[in-house]
Amino acid sequence: MKLAVNVEKSFFDIPLKEQMLSVKKAGFDGVFFDWCDSEEFTENVNFAREIGLEIASIHAPFDSVCDMWTEEKPPIFHKLIKCINTCGELGIKTLVCHVYIGFDTVAKVTDIGIKNFSLLIDEAEKYDLNLAFENTEGVECLYGIKKHLSRRKNCGFCIDTGHELCYNAGYDLLKDFGDKLFFLHINDNMGVTGDKIFWTDDAHIMPYKQGKVNWQRFCDNLKRLKWDKWISLELCLKNKPDKHTHDDLIGVTPDNFFKMAFNAATKIKDSI
């Protein structure tokens, strides 16, 4: 198994390229980050490869993705097509996509939505690009994708352990999606801390710290699935509004942050 971690512009006041140097120094095999429509994205992909890091995945844009279920080819559809084209042309193997976002609407699977996502899969197939649909709020729509589209070779799933805890009531989603698991977003949080589910609970804490994810169950699941792909941590470095989950990382250096992440990823790898 190979180890990967995300880099984000919000992590440090340094470019992603400099963060990737720390990722490589820590011992990771790969890296992943968000797609953006710019030459800088391609430069970052090429730089990662130049220093010996694989692109484990790329995260697709998800703004207004709920429109995919209510409109034929809404603006986010065209943005996702462009993202697929860019990633395909760069030889990237896995693109992580949300199928729902938001807490003010009710998730509902529609024929329009299934058609829109089917067209995305059609486009990805041209490049042999895997689309890994991620669990978020509105998990009903993820089940819709599974029911109608998971027979497609390059349609699979990304399970986010933190989302599972605070957005999906802690339900063991690997039981339902493990047979088409393409990627993992491994992180922790404190569960739902208020009266209702809200995005600020999605803390993306490093595993084996103060969070509440059942890591034994998670590792046992991966062992059962004979998982041999990426052990990939998706982390945050800073607190969400009115939260203090990352106070211990204030002032941490890139080298130290990614070394801690590497140690956590290694612990998971050794437990499988």
- The domain that holds 182 is classified in CATH as 3.20.20.150
d(CA 196, CA 103): 10
- The residues pairing with 130 across neighbouring beta strands, listed in sequence order, are 94
d(CA 246, CA 269): 24
User: Tens digits of per-residue pLDDT, 121-176?
Assistant: 999 999 999 999 999 999 999 999 999 999 999 999 999 999 999 999 999 999 99
Domain span at residue 247 reads 2-270
Total domains present in the chain: 1
User: Tens digits of per-residue pLDDT, 175-187?
Assistant: 999 999 999 999 9
Residue with tokens 């605070």: 166
What length is written for the chain? 272
What SS3 class is residue 154?
A: coil
- CA 57-136-117 angle, to 5 degrees, is 70
User: Tens digits of per-residue pLDDT, 232-269?
Assistant: 999 999 999 999 999 999 999 999 999 999 999 999 99
Residue 105 clears pLDDT 90, i.e. is over it:
no
Pairing of strands 181-185, 230-233: unpaired
pTM recorded for the entire structure: 0.97
Specify the pLDDT at position 104.
82
User: Tens digits of per-residue pLDDT, 13-60?
Assistant: 999 999 999 999 999 999 999 999 999 999 999 999 999 999 999 999
